[in-house]
Structure 1
């Protein structure tokens, strides 16, 4: 493949943007390819190279790059009527009603501009509602670029994971390994009266797509109830992708107090949202005293894109299609690994997938979880499949990034740039696309 234009663009970008990118995850070595346009389930780069796209904007593009007519016309109509107003519009009410109607735990919604802004606001709301300062997060869980969750360490021995964050922020953030019920009980036994909230993804989505073991979320729910803390589900990635319109909380039958959304709820445009019980959400200003505001919150173009995307998904069997393709892909990947790399692990559910280069696993796939690791205790690979972010981190991350990713790119398949980020199937993908991807995996693995 020729990449002269991408290389030239990256050279220019390095002069005016730190690292040549506006999000660090895009900094692919030796340089990223620059996308010119999307086309259904593919992207075309600045040099005209065409790739089968499983990044899907890191999750927002449930329908793919080509907006269906009803979505496109709604976006164009809203844009033609003026970019924004600084006043409410009907469409934001309609989208809030749609979310509240379909997501089990949501009674009210506050729209913001990004997943990060949603989690920042949710943490502030939890602290304001409970009158407590401490929050519990999962080690390796990602909740956006915010000071309260960019921490490292174990339990209450934590420190900021980035320069620029005062140490005192980390004092109020407690960490536990995902899927470790004992650690959760321990941190509540020590700090329960001071914990405002537990913030967790239903499935770790930025660390290899790790499913909860049976009973884990129920344990968190019970601990929060016992100690008067809030359970906050970060569904920025899983929202309206895992579990369909009910989201992952519906799939797992867990009722969080607050839920953060992003990505799909904006139909591919910048968005975030906090949903939950009315008595909690109404603590936001102006109904309550917890300050939250934003110039672009509830932007009419974003609201229209999100509403019509979700309506289209509900009316056109989108979830049946993408989930079926996801299962086809994960089953095919397991067949490949059984022949070529049995130590590796296929993870994912619904329209999410990944191959994690784990180091130790049985040679046999007999009796294993089909179509991705589901943390089934009677699976012979259960003791070896990743249970938390630490397990993913101990996998062959360098091999994945330095050898596997470039080989897949050379074969025309665009994957997320490291072993940690989720990959996604969209409605524009076809069965033929999945077979093409499997052939590329056979060569690259």
Structure 2
């Protein structure tokens, strides 16, 4: 397979962009990433006209695939033709807000922003403003965007910045604990409970190989935060409107967080983020309250139209049944392949999310540390390239999950399973 055009483009990119990319994960593949020319249904075509089954789906936003249904395309084109943006409210913002609040019971009011990172930044600031407290509890290995309050590693006794440029004084207000570890959470609240503004967690860790909560864990988080007057924030940037259908992952787990962050699917493939929750908390945002939040492009009419029509289409055309069924077929087929060829590896996922984790003992991971011990270099340096040669595009590292779209077919699933057989 030739990649001459991608190599040339990467060479040019290195001269004008740090690392040759605009998001670090895209350069995870060595010696260079392939450059996409266009999408086509459940596939992408690269700059050298190679065609791949695409399970990355933009890292999650493309619930419907690359080919937008007519009602979605028409809404986007109509809004774009009316003018790019205005710096003033539009009706479609209200329409999408009403749709979300109607289908996600915990969200009584919502504020749209421009990215998942911006959503979690706003949620953390809002939690601190609402409670008058400083500390945020996060899960080790959880990812909440490129923001100072969560780019923190270590543990609650010794939190450290995980990136250059983040002051230690920021990290001291963030308390990392292992996911699924109730005793660690109790210890943190015993030590810092009076100053914990919120516990921030993904319902399912989606940037660390897909790690599920153990039975009762989210119920425990709901109870301990209420007991101490802290907020429970669910980061549903990945799982929102993908796991659990229109009710999101919190609906599947039957948990009501105080705040929820959204991104990806809620914008229909366009830049978006949102934070929503109980009205009494959301009303603390300016201009209703004193917690500042604003953005020039927030509630962008094209994005709002794309998100609204994507969710309407999903509701009206049994999209979740389709993607969840194909996801189950993928995980079932992968489990058979792994059992036969690599029994120490693990197939993880739920609904339309899936991943083969190169664990060392075949046990399903219960925390990020389990995934971190996986054979990450083998996955990235050998396996990913082998899958690309089989014309299958997977997420660029061991940790990012993969996604099924409405445009994928059973033939795509079978081709992918055959590719896994060859690559493993």
Question: Any conservation in 2 of the 1:347–1:356 contact (CA below 8 Å)?
Answer: yes
Q: Does 1:26 find its partner at 2:26?
A: yes
Q: What is residue 308 of structure 2 aligned with on the other side?
A: 307
Q: Does 1:297 find its partner at 2:298?
A: yes
Question: Any conservation in 2 of the 1:156–1:171 contact (CA below 8 Å)?
Answer: no
| Alpha-carbon distance in 1 for matches of 2:300, 2:338 | 45
Query: Structure 1, unaligned stretches of length 5 or more?
Result: 362-383
Report the RMSD for the aligned CA atoms in angstroms: 0.5
| 1:385 aligns with one of 351, 357, 364 | 364
Q: What is residue 62 of structure 2 aligned with on the other side?
A: 61
| Alpha-carbon distance in 1 for matches of 2:203, 2:111 | 21
Q: Does 1:428 find its partner at 2:407?
A: yes
Cα drift, residue 159 of structure 1: 1.0
| Alpha-carbon distance in 2 for matches of 1:167, 1:187 | 19
Q: Deviations over 1:175-214 (max 9, x none)?
A: 1000111101110011001000000000000000000000
| Alpha-carbon distance in 2 for matches of 1:443, 1:337 | 12
Question: What SS is found at the alignment partner of 1:355?
Answer: strand
Question: Any conservation in 2 of the 1:115–1:236 contact (CA below 8 Å)?
Answer: yes
Q: What is residue 318 of structure 2 aligned with on the other side?
A: 317
Question: What SS is found at the alignment partner of 2:154?
Answer: strand
| Alpha-carbon distance in 2 for matches of 1:330, 1:95 | 33
Question: What SS is found at the alignment partner of 2:255?
Answer: coil
Question: Pairwise mapping of residues 199-214 of structure 1 onto structure 2 (< 5 A)?
Answer: 199-214=200-215
Cα drift, residue 118 of structure 1: 0.1
| Alpha-carbon distance in 2 for matches of 1:419, 1:163 | 23
| Alpha-carbon distance in 1 for matches of 2:230, 2:310 | 34
Question: Pairwise mapping of residues 390-409 of structure 1 onto structure 2 (< 5 A)?
Answer: 390-409=369-388
Cα drift, residue 156 of structure 1: 3.2
- Scaled by the length of structure 2, what TM-score is found? 0.99
Q: What is residue 372 of structure 1 aligned with on the other side?
A: none
Question: Pairwise mapping of residues 73-222 of structure 1 onto structure 2 (< 5 A)?
Answer: 73-222=74-223
| Alpha-carbon distance in 1 for matches of 2:276, 2:149 | 20
Query: Structure 2, unaligned stretches of length 5 or more?
Result: none
Cα drift, residue 407 of structure 1: 0.1
| Alpha-carbon distance in 1 for matches of 2:306, 2:323 | 19
Question: Pairwise mapping of residues 236-247 of structure 1 onto structure 2 (< 5 A)?
Answer: 236-247=237-248
Q: What is residue 275 of structure 1 aligned with on the other side?
A: 276
Q: How many residues align?
A: 423
Question: Any conservation in 2 of the 1:130–1:229 contact (CA below 8 Å)?
Answer: yes
| Alpha-carbon distance in 2 for matches of 1:152, 1:310 | 35
| Alpha-carbon distance in 2 for matches of 1:360, 1:110 | 44
Question: Pairwise mapping of residues 217-232 of structure 1 onto structure 2 (< 5 A)?
Answer: 217-232=218-233
Cα drift, residue 215 of structure 1: 0.8
Q: Does 1:359 find its partner at 2:395?
A: no
Q: What is residue 50 of structure 2 aligned with on the other side?
A: 49
Question: What SS is found at the alignment partner of 2:350?
Answer: coil
Question: What SS is found at the alignment partner of 2:288?
Answer: coil
| Alpha-carbon distance in 2 for matches of 1:333, 1:144 | 30
Q: What is residue 12 of structure 2 aligned with on the other side?
A: 12
Cα drift, residue 119 of structure 1: 0.1
Q: What is residue 439 of structure 1 aligned with on the other side?
A: 418
| Alpha-carbon distance in 2 for matches of 1:129, 1:156 | 25
Segments ≥4 residues shifted beyond 2 Å: none
Cα drift, residue 385 of structure 1: 1.9
Q: Does 1:410 find its partner at 2:389?
A: yes
